[in-house]
């Protein structure tokens, strides 16, 4: 059992049935890639606690989507509807009760244009989640990942990895999160 930042990764497998919309664009494979990007960004930024919370937010971030189109409310809906379903899992993997607010906030803000100020105590959690989600925009087309929208300098160095991870993840059947880690490394 692999652990990163106190997270027992084998407890964070996903299935399409956890998602309100049966989507290949915003379903479990997208969430897995975002979760892996979060962990990598946590390692390269040294923001381990923020990355732990962003990882939990990544797990639920698109579960409440109702469609694949432009949507600014699915993050808030995931925070309101999905966070309560998984809060015990998060608490059992290192989150505190007060961290649940940060997880919910990052989840809610990931689908909006609202940015956290660098002085905001949740800045790194929000920025890591938003950047990790942005890295997987490669799935929408080569030009859909716009580096100008990335928040952290370290994320820019992950663009080629994001492309490689996406294309490699298309070549094999991914059953669980650790299968993706085997492809992408950690």
Q: Dump the DSSP string for 55-86.
A: HHHHHHTTTT-SSSS--SSHHHHHHHHTHHHH
Q: Which helix (H) or strand (E) holds 42?
A: helix 28-45
**pLDDT grade, residue 156 (50/70/90)?**
very high
Question: 10 Å Cβ neighbour count for 73?
Answer: 13
CA distance from start to end of the chain: 14
Question: 112-121, 126-135, 144-153 — which is least confidently predicted?
Answer: 144-153
Rounded Cα distance between 68 and 22, Å, is 10
The percentage of residues in the chain with a pLDDT greater than 70, rounded to a whole number, is 99
pLDDT over threshold 80, residue 143: no
pLDDT over threshold 90, residue 42: yes
Kindly indicate whether the domain formed by 21-184 is annotated with CATH number 2.30.110.10.
no
Give me 105's structure tokens: 């906030």
| Residue whose C-alpha is closest to residue 14's, from 133, 174, 137, 183 | 174
When the pLDDT of each residue in the chain is averaged and rounded to a whole number, the result is 93
Give the residue-averaged pLDDT of 111-125: 94
pLDDT of residue 27: 78
pLDDT of residue 164: 94
Question: 10 Å Cβ neighbour count for 37?
Answer: 27
pLDDT over threshold 90, residue 172: no
CB contact at 8 A, 19 and 28: yes
pLDDT of residue 134: 96
For 66-116, the pLDDT digits (tens) are 988 888 888 999 999 999 999 999 999 999 999 999 999 999 999 999 999
| Residue whose C-alpha is closest to residue 73's, from 128, 115, 110 | 110
Give me 154's structure tokens: 């370290």
Question: 20-34, 54-68, 154-168 — which is least confidently predicted?
Answer: 20-34
pLDDT of residue 1: 60
């Amino acid at each position: 059992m692999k652990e990163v930042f106190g997270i027992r990764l084998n407890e964070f497998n996903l299935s399409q049935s956890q998602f309100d919309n049966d989507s290949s664009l915003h379903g479990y494979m997208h969430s897995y890639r975002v979760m892996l990007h979060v962990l990598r960004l946590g390692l390269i930024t040294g923001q381990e606690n923020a990355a732990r919370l962003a990882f939990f937010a990544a797990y639920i971030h698109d579960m409440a989507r109702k469609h694949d189109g432009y949507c600014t409310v699915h993050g808030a809906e995931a925070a309101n509807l999905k966070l309560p379903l998984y809060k015990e899992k998060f608490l059992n993997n290192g989150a505190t009760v007060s961290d649940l607010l940060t997880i919910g906030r990052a989840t809610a803000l990931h689908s909006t244009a609202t940015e956290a100020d660098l002085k905001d105590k949740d800045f790194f959690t929000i920025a890591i989640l938003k950047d990790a989600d942005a890295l997987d925009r490669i799935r929408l087309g080569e030009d859909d990942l716009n580096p100008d929208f990335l928040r952290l300098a370290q994320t820019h160095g992950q663009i080629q990895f994001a492309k490689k991870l996406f294309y490699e993840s298309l070549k094999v059947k991914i059953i669980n999160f650790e299968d993706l880690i085997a492809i992408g490394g950690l």
